[in-house]
Amino acid sequence: MYSVRDVVEAFMRLVKSEVQQDAVLVPPDDAYEVQRLPSLLVQGPRLVEDKDRRTMAKQIVKDTDALTYEEREYPRFYHLDFDFVVTTAKEAELVDTVAGIVVFFAFHREIVVPPDGHRLNLTELVPIGGLNRVNLTNLRQSSGRYRIEDCLVYGNNVTSGKLVLDRKFDYADSSPIESRTHEPPQG
């Protein structure tokens, strides 16, 4: 099982290795002063619940080797939205960095989240250059919005117990009460 933090850390490691080594994660709508150019700010995540996938069902996970089970509320699905903000001093640097982001999302359609290798989809909501931003500097900027889809968020209320080993049925009819024990199949 993974957490939102695991997903964000895996995403930022991938962005730093494939797009820009000095990429910085900042909270949404936080003021941040760029220290070095070119710069890539990743603002987020903004969590958006996928309400169509919400259910009241329980999730039951059985471990037949240990003969135990765990029961919990079914997890909620959240999308993690990130704004990418590129800042450069020259137009050529801006175009190169924007091209790198476009290639990154074109060829990375999913992210693998450790420790269990769960895969989550990466999607482009607004292409880089598509978001309007207030730029009060003489620097060049471009921004876009991207999403990690369906991140599972589990609750902490877990019930665990043992699986049934033997079954005993009492049959009652007109004859005397009969009791039989049924052993689980061996194999």
Which tokens is 154 given?
A: 């589990």
Is pTM, for the whole model, over 0.95? no
Q: Among candidates 80, 82, 77, 78, which has minimal Cα distance to 15?
A: 82
Q: What is the mean pLDDT of the chain?
A: 88
Least confident of 36-40, 97-101, 129-133, 166-170: 166-170
- At 90, is the pLDDT very low, low, confident or very high (cuts 50, 70, 90)? very high
Q: Among candidates 79, 75, 122, 73, which has minimal Cα distance to 101?
A: 122
pLDDT above 90 as % of the chain: 58
- At 184, is the pLDDT very low, low, confident or very high (cuts 50, 70, 90)? low
The third-level CATH classification (topology) of the domain covering 4-182 is STM4215-like (3.30.2000)
Q: What is the mean pLDDT of residues 145-171?
A: 85
Q: Give whichever of 30-34, 139-143, 179-183 has the largest mean pLDDT.
A: 139-143
Strand ranges (DSSP E) for the chain? Answer: 24-26, 39-49, 58-63, 68-73, 76-88, 110-113, 118-126, 140-153, 158-162, 167-171, 178-182
- At 49, is the pLDDT very low, low, confident or very high (cuts 50, 70, 90)? very high
pLDDT per residue as tens digits for the range 162-175: 988 777 766 666 56
Q: Which amino acid is at 118?
A: H
The larger pLDDT score, comparing residue 79 to residue 168, is at 79
pLDDT of residue 169: 67
pLDDT of residue 99: 94
Extents of the domains making up the chain: 4-182
